Chains A and B, each alone.
Chain A
């Protein structure tokens, strides 16, 4: 069997695939963070909690209502997005124009509340979520075995990220959105309801996090803690990418997932810290981040 730097090709490709999957989650989450930050100037610490809520929503739909995976893929982000819109309307709205630190602290409090409530109800160990039958199994590619669900996750998130990029960068709605991030008062003067746009944006960003949660549910256990540590890694991804552009967060997310996968093959001890190490390195060389526009 052939090897690359002493590692069998199969093991290498397997870990790269795992890295690509983690990268899908990083990309979806940092994309949502970037959208929210762009218009609201809020670093949404509750993003990890909304990701968890998305996974739980899928689990609720299955166990309480018998709604399967495909239904959850639509309904869970919708429901969690509505919760997000409500949060924006009732709380975040009141912080407009203040130091962004307060938005961070408020959403941190929300994250604690959501995590605590779920932990009280379901403990910390989590629930399994059955993989849909039509996505189980896999393809034998000759050089490696490709589980069908994993291929689906990567493909699906590439499509979602691409579509989000297209809407923001290439459509009229996206142009309005970008204009509103530059100069809300002017856009308001053109007769566009900016507060509604803001609520919608927060809801969509949160829905993206919930969508990532639904995708994650069949791979990991649906646990109250699943978003808590992930969000810190995503913050590191955001610092590396610079949160300056939509494309930047997508590319950085996937790339860092791959780097993490490679580390797992060649130096497993460092796999949980490699992203933070990359962050430290990027800060030394280019403090504004790889795709960042301002410091």
Chain B
């Protein structure tokens, strides 16, 4: 069976997600899932295509949330400016963390990113502007480009959807660009990429910054949607959650992280009343994914369809 063209899943997503809030699905749930979907896609760009397991991606997501909330609330910036500021802050962090972390490979890379993210967590816990355990609350959403009122639910939803689709298309473009091909070559065989004349570290660092920036874009949007930036988003549990989303949906597939994000957010939503059973459920999913279906839902489905005969 031939692979469907690249635009098919995008059109499908636009149709489903564009109509979803009109069918009575709780829009805040959808927006949360969209923010995490973009976050997971950004993470997947790194792990799925560059083979780099960042265990500290919550840092970029959460730091952008704080930056966006601060810019919008204290400096009174418009939403587009605040989110862009958050994205920039995340990219800056990405440059610093990435430059340090790519000095080690494989699982050491994961440990370094985790440790640096934990360092940032302690910083945000103590820093005067973050509000400690309370976070930055009542963040104003404002007027997008001075025209669209984001306090109203539907304009907000379609803005989030547009940002998500923009990020998704950008990642799709990157993955299929020469840059993305080199990344995958580095992932498959780094010495070979070196002998072909590429500098793997440059590609890895650029991918890291790009992924951090997109994770930041997602975190900034989430801060606007929930009008809140808090420690939860920089905690290592969020780093774990985004790994689970990607793994569950399908590593190295474009659509996988989106599916995984919706599933995990729905799971957290439905288990929210049951306290720590969320952790148990997520842990179980991790174990099951690693032991039985490492390609994830989308990956395994794709394999079924491509099987000859």
Contacts and interface: CB of A to CB of B under 8 A. Distances in A.
Interface of A: 43, 91, 94-95, 99-102, 104-106, 108-117, 119-120, 229, 232-233, 235-236, 238-239, 269, 272-273, 276-277, 279-280, 283-284, 287, 295
A276 B116 contact: yes
B266 interface: no
Contacts of A112: 240, 279-280, 282-283, 286
Nearest to A109: B286
Given A95-B290, A108-B286, A119-B275, 7 more contacts: A91-B287, A115-B283, A120-B275, A239-B104, A272-B122, A276-B115, A284-B100
B293 interface: no
Contacts of B108: 239
Contacts of A272: 122
A279 B281 CA distance: 33
A57 to B, nearest CB: 19
Nearest to B281: A116
Nearest to A124: B276
B129 interface: no
Q: Do most interface residues of chain A lie in helix, strand or loop, or is the interface mixed?
A: helix
A136 to B, nearest CB: 33
B23 interface: no
A223 B287 CA distance: 24
Contact of A106 (B107, B122, B291): B291
A114 B277 CA distance: 11
Given A276-B116, A277-B119, A280-B116, A295 B287 contact: no
16 contacts: A104-B110, A108-B283, A112-B279, A113-B279, A113-B280, A116-B278, A119-B276, A120-B277, A232-B236, A233-B118, A236-B115, A277-B119, A280-B116, A283-B100, A283-B103, A284-B103
Interface of B: 53, 100-101, 103-108, 110-112, 114-116, 118-119, 122-123, 126, 236, 240, 243, 247, 275-287, 289-291, 294
B301 to A, nearest CB: 21
A43 B107 contact: yes
A277 B126 CA distance: 16
Contact of A101 (B106, B112, B278): B106
Contact of B291 (A43, A91, A100, A279): A91
Contact of B106 (A100, A119, A279): A100
A276 B118 contact: yes
Contacts of B282: 109, 112, 116
Given A108-B240, A235-B111, A283-B104, A102 B294 contact: yes
A255 to B, nearest CB: 17
A277 B122 CA distance: 12
Given A276-B116, A279-B115, A100 B100 contact: no
Given A106-B291, A109-B286, A116-B283, A295 B104 contact: yes
A239 B122 contact: no
Contacts of A104: 53, 107, 110
A263 to B, nearest CB: 13
Which of B240, B283, B284, B294 has the most chain A CB atoms closer than 10 A to its own CB?
B283
Nearest to A229: B118
Contact of B290 (A106, A114, A115, A233): A106
Nearest to A269: B126
A43 B111 contact: yes
Contacts of B289: 105, 109
Contacts of A116: 276-283
Contacts of A232: 114-115, 118, 236
A287 B276 CA distance: 38
B119 A287 contact: no
Closest 6 CB pairs of A and B: A109-B286, A116-B279, A112-B283, A113-B283, A276-B119, A116-B280
Contacts of A91: 287, 291
Given A110-B287, A235-B111, A273 B123 contact: yes
A239 B112 contact: yes
Given A113-B283, A116-B279, A276-B115, A102 B290 contact: yes
Contact of A239 (B105, B111, B236): B111
A114 B280 CA distance: 7
Contact of B286 (A105, A114, A273, A284): A105
A105 B243 contact: yes
Contacts of A114: 283
B238 to A, nearest CB: 13
A243 to B, nearest CB: 8
